[in-house]
């Protein structure tokens, strides 16, 4: 590997360190190629990558990525697991493989810009995976919602039954006769206020004197005057 290839590896590993949520260092001695391929497949499900790089190149990559604490675990044959997804699921995959094969001794790791001890890696492996935690959270949230939905359904059903009973009794609906409208009361005549005289009805106008016919006595007197 020439200088250019080494520089490319250092840059690639430094980028993986920066992008990883967690990094686990293990001693891979004794692992066969098929076993390593099986482990890579398990880690891929947790969005993690299993990689073996020369310690000298990994040290330079750790310096470039600002993860100097990771260099303490680069002693002897070392493989790094770069976790981008579920840190607990990746640690569990490593722990299960170690239990089944007797290989992959935990050296330590790096998480949240802090080093991890082998004991801390074991503790992380015993944590519930993200999928399990999501399932528990959904169950906790759904339980009160289910009770609320049942209560609302019972309330709506009871209201519907009450409305049905009222309708059967003819208290609601369009079949019941509407009450007859009452005629408005006649307006009462206003009585004159105390101390005021009742208004007089207007008297009939007298006919003009010149148009009225002469009385019977007046006709006789006129006739006698004319005779004299």
Residue 132 predicted with pLDDT over 50: yes
130, burial (CB in 10 Å: exposed 0-12, middle 13-18, buried 19+): middle
* pLDDT top residue among 141 and 104: 104
Q: What is the mean pLDDT of residues 144-169?
A: 62
DSSP letter (8 states) at residue 77: S
Side-by-side strand order, sheet with 79-83: 48-52, 79-83, 22-27, 105-111, 114-116
Place of tokens 């920066």: 18
Neighbours of 22 (CB within 10 A): 22
Closest CA to 55 of 28, 84, 87, 36: 28
Q: In the prediction, which pLDDT does 128 show?
A: 84
Model pLDDT, residue 129: 75
Spatial neighbors of 14 by CB under 8 A, at least 6 apart, are 61, 62, 64, 65
Q: Is the pLDDT of residue 95 over 50?
A: yes
The predicted model scores a pTM of 0.58
């Amino acid at each position: 590997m020439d200088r250019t290839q080494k520089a490319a590896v250092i840059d690639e590993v430094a980028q993986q360190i920066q992008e990883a949520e967690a990094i686990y260092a293990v001693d891979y001695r004794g692992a066969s190629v098929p076993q390593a391929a099986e482990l890579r497949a398990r880690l891929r499900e947790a969005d993690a990558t299993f990689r073996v790089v020369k310690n000298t190149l990994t040290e330079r990559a750790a310096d470039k990525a600002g993860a100097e604490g990771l260099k303490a675990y680069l002693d002897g044959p070392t493989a790094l697991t770069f976790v981008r997804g579920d840190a607990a699921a990746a640690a569990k995959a490593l722990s299960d493989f170690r239990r089944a094969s007797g290989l992959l001794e935990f050296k330590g790791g790096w998480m949240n810009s802090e080093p991890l001890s082998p004991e801390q890696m074991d503790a992380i492996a015993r944590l519930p995976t993200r999928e399990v935690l999501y399932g528990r959270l959904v169950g906790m949230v759904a339980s009160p919602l289910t009770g609320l939905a049942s209560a609302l359904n019972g309330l709506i059903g009871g209201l519907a039954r009450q409305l049905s009973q009222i309708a059967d009794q003819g208290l609601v609906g369009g079949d019941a006769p509407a009450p007859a409208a009452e005629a408005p009361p006649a307006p009462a005549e206003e009585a004159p206020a105390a101390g005021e005289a009742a208004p007089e009805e207007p008297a009939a106008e007298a006919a003009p004197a010149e148009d009225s016919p002469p009385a019977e006595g007046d006709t006789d007197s006129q006739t006698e005057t004319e005779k004299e």
